[in-house]
Structure 1
């Protein structure tokens, strides 16, 4: 038999051997990957799904880096509701690479957005770049600015002391200021501020833009932390809503495809940068939808547990703890209380886009 390049490839290179009939528990990682030590300081940022990664890293005994913490007298539930511990710093959801790049620039005084304060519906003060981070909003602009200054100091601390940065790319769609391109995590008017089509513009990032922004961010990060290593993932959570004019399903597929392609290119081009296939584990055909809740959007705990099991197997040579058993059904509760409980468990700014009707 004639020899050819496919003759000696491992099983992972063939669909029939690696995917067909394997069921949901496929491990799609092949080739070199990050090696993670227990003492490595791991920072996280990104979309809602990144919160699950942070939670499992901490529960598995790894050195999950948190630079911005609540005052010791604040009860844990209240601290979590205020965004403490969900990510390394209290920046809330960072959905786009443009947001991430601008966070660095704002933290180091390289970018001062013109539109940097919003008014809440009740007259409170909202930070446009962390619109849901303070329950009820800030009492005054002075309080907000003082909190922001402290926050950006802790962002700098995170960037300068982390060993590994895990960033979960979530969206291509977003809204920016027409004045200077400042990127907001939510459309103005949803969680504060007032939408003005003369002042605000819709952006749907393209693959080339995302790749360039990732490269620019890594260059900036390594200018203050030369040894920083990066892991890029793509959130499997579909869009809650789209302003693209398309149906939300193809809009979601475009968004994830663009993010996935850019992440792959970045991982191939940038040293000490890896792509981890959490998106493929949850959404691939082998999962047959088993890792999504009934709304076909939220990822189940079983799905998150499998993602983290694969991650820790390859990064640290261990298996993640088994997913906890499902709790007994709780008594029915008021819809408002249930919504608040879900919001605290995984703070997701984007979900607010579908609360108007």
Structure 2
């Protein structure tokens, strides 16, 4: 008697798709909704892992767009230290859907940015991107002027790109209790002063995460009806958790919610897609081979494998050769907003605000 499983392809069965294969031979995890070619304008934002995505696109001569390239004359190291060329605009890491919604709201509407500024040792820090200026700004005026440049870059990126890649990273965050505005890090860690009466911890639930992603998508569509949103979930575990849970279970909770949000967004919105970099790095089928000994940092070969799957699945869906990294750094593009930096070396450290929390681990406090 015939039944629906009779005619399913081999990738729908665990044994033929996973168990009988070496992990590096598992293919076809992504069925892309839209084609991403070499001339497709791509912008990237999100958590730390999104930095890998941008560098891989540049290395393969894809059109990754940098709408805030920074002043001329900076060395490559200075550009990295000041967060130029890390994402398509100088926000630093955007970890949660709420933070994405905030930045898009400030950039694309008349909603004013809160005037709060953090201070430390006579220098000034932006609470919403405190790590972008090493040592802080010399004045509040300089801080506000720099932020205006970033907001203009976000607006230009949304209006000028075709693909917006956003990497979901965290559900945990710290907010202003009175306004609900979300900070990039806990006040008092990098700068500022923590006030228990003014600052509150939040661990966003599924409903709140979905509402923020839907609101972010609406802002994007209103500004650019041709722009598609490609979601990924960061495979990097939490550095620390302010919840009442063990950091391992807190990580599982956070990533599971973000992964579910990504699926629901894809199911409900035709202009949204999801690429499974999270599964490729973290799934037991890969036996942790892509993590460094600290079980948190993703090794370069893991990033390479993730991006190989990305380009292979694009080629399978739309034809053409699979993109491979060039032997030499890519040729600078004629457009001034396009990336011209080669892929960074294996020794490059990601610039992540969340990493600041590692300094507060017990062995660091008392060692």
Say yes or no: TM over 0.5: yes
Unaligned runs of 5+ in 2: 328-344
Task: Report the secondary structure of 1:174's partner residue.
Answer: strand
In structure 1, runs of 5+ residues without a counterpart are: 325-340
TM-score, length-scaled by structure 1? 0.91
Label 1:318 to 1:255 Cα distance change in 2 as closer, same or farther (>3 A): farther
Q: How does 1:153-172 map to 2 (within 5 A)?
A: 153-172=152-171
* Aligned counterpart, 1:57: 57
Partner of 1:351: 355
When normalised by structure 2's length, the TM-score is 0.89
1:305 alignment counterpart: 304
Does structure 2 conserve the Cα–Cα contact (< 8 Å) formed by 1:176 and 1:201?
yes
* Aligned-residue CA RMSD (Å): 1.8
Residues 108 and 219 in structure 2, CA contact (< 8 A), matched pair in contact too: no
CA distance in structure 2 between the aligned counterparts of 1:108 and 1:188, rounded to whole angstroms: 26
Q: Match for residue 236 of structure 1?
A: 235
Deviation at 1:32, TM superposition (A): 4.4
| Residue 149 of structure 2: aligned partner | 150
Aligned residues: 339
Separation of aligned partners in 1, 2:322 and 2:158:
28
Deviation per CA, 1:235-288: give whole Å up to 9, x if none. Answer: 000000000010000000000000000100001111121111101000011110
Q: How much has 1:33 moved relative to structure 2?
A: 3.1
What's the offset of the Cα at 1:29?
A: 1.8
Per mean C-alpha deviation after superposition, the further-off stretch among 58-67 and 208-217 is 208-217
Tell me the CA shift for residue 108 of structure 1: 2.8
Q: Distance in 2 between matches of 1:304 and 1:343?
A: 14
Secondary structure of 1:19's match? helix
Distance in structure 2 (CA, Å) of the matches to 1:97 and 1:222: 16
Contact 2:60 2:326 survives alignment (8 Å): no
Verify: 1:269 aligned to 2:273, yes or no: no
| Counterpart mapping for 1:1-357 below 5 A | 2-25=1-24, 26-114=26-114, 116-120=116-120, 122-316=121-315, 317-321=320-324, 345-356=349-360, 357=364
| Aligned 8 A contact 1:102 1:111 in 2 | no
Could you report, residue by residue, the CA deviation over 1:93-136 in whole angstroms, capped at 9, with x for unpaired residues? 0000000000011113443354531112x221001111100011
1:113–1:180 contact (8 Å) kept in structure 2: no
> Contact conserved, 1:165 with 1:228, CA < 8 A, in 2?
yes
C-alpha contact (below 8 Å) 1:43/1:166 kept by paired residues: yes
Distance 2:38 2:352 in 1: 29
